[in-house]
């Protein structure tokens, strides 16, 4: 079955037994991403409420975050969004090797992000700043909330990066096995969409935590 004949065919389920609907698959993915945005939306709402309530404490607490590592991670994630897009472009041009290469680079970037995050968290934890720690509980409520949200939001985002790595590794496997081809690359596109979302959420997290000093 040719990809082109399927796109634009409203009623493609009438075609044979093999059910394949690339437009539908993408629609499903967008809907799923929508739920992800709302999931994080709940957290951004929480952040907004407390930032309004404790803006001075938030500013003081944010000064303790390492803007350097944050910036580096922003650059890494933005570039990885580019490489995953290039990987899709490569398979559309039938360049399997380049596609594999670009996807691998994306995975490497993702891992670099996580390693940076690890060092950043560890530095904070070594300074005694983590949820329910004595050091943190001795501080004003606004700072407890700031670091609470910092760990929860970057942690949940980190979890999404980790899931993204797993998804991208699967895509790599499919690429190598020729399951993703010039005619059939919706899977890769959907994985790319997911990765862009992970990137997008970070673009909001970064200024809200690191740049409010």
Which residues here bind other proteins, judged by CB under 8 A? 10-14, 19, 21, 23-25, 27-28, 31-32, 34-36, 38-43, 45-46, 49-50, 53-54, 131-132, 137, 140-142, 144-145, 148-149, 151-152, 156
Q: How far is 213 from 201, CA to CA, in rounded Å?
A: 20
Between 97 and 134, name the residue whose CB sits nearer to other proteins.
134
Could you count the other beta carbons within 10 Å of the beta carbon of residue 124?
19
Between 46 and 66, name the residue whose CB sits nearer to other proteins.
46
Beta carbon of residue 90, minimum distance to other proteins (angstroms, whole number): 27
Q: How far is 112 from 117, CA to CA, in rounded Å?
A: 8
Beta carbon of residue 109, minimum distance to other proteins (angstroms, whole number): 27
Q: Which residues contact 179 (CB under 8 A, 6 or more apart)?
A: 187
Beta carbon of residue 186, minimum distance to other proteins (angstroms, whole number): 13
Between 101 and 204, name the residue whose CB sits nearer to other proteins.
204
Looking at the chain, the number of H-run helices and the number of E-run strands are 8, 0
Between 50 and 210, name the residue whose CB sits nearer to other proteins.
50
Beta carbon of residue 165, minimum distance to other proteins (angstroms, whole number): 21
Q: Is residue 128 a contact partner of residue 180, using CB atoms and an 8 Å limit?
A: no
> Long-range CB contacts (< 8 A, 24+ apart) of 68-71?
69/116, 69/119, 69/120, 70/120, 70/206, 70/209, 70/210, 71/206, 71/210
Beta carbon of residue 112, minimum distance to other proteins (angstroms, whole number): 26
Between 12 and 74, name the residue whose CB sits nearer to other proteins.
12
Q: Which residues contact 24 (CB under 8 A, 6 or more apart)?
A: none
């Amino acid at each position: 079955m040719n990809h082109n004949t399927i796109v634009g065919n409203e009623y493609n389920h009438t075609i044979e037994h093999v059910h394949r609907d690339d437009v539908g698959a993408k629609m499903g993915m967008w809907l799923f991403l929508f739920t992800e945005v709302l999931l994080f939306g709940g957290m951004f709402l929480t952040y907004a409420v407390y930032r309004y309530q404790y803006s001075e404490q938030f500013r003081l607490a944010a000064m303790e975050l390492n803007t350097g590592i944050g910036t580096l991670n922003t650059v890494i994630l933005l570039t990885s969004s580019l490489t995953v897009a290039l990987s899709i472009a490569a398979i559309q041009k039938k360049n399997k090797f380049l596609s594999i290469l670009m996807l691998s680079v994306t995975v490497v970037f993702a891992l670099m992000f996580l390693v940076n995050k690890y060092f950043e968290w560890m530095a904070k934890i070594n300074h005694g700043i983590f949820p329910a720690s004595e050091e943190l509980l001795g501080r004003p409520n606004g700072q407890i909330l700031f670091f609470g949200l910092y760990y929860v939001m970057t942690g949940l985002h980190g979890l999404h990066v980790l899931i993204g790595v797993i998804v991208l590794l699967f895509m790599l496997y499919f690429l190598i096995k020729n399951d993703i081809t010039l005619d059939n690359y919706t899977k890769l596109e959907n994985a790319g969409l997911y990765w862009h979302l992970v990137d997008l959420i970070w673009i909001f997290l970064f200024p809200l935590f690191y740049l409010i000093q």
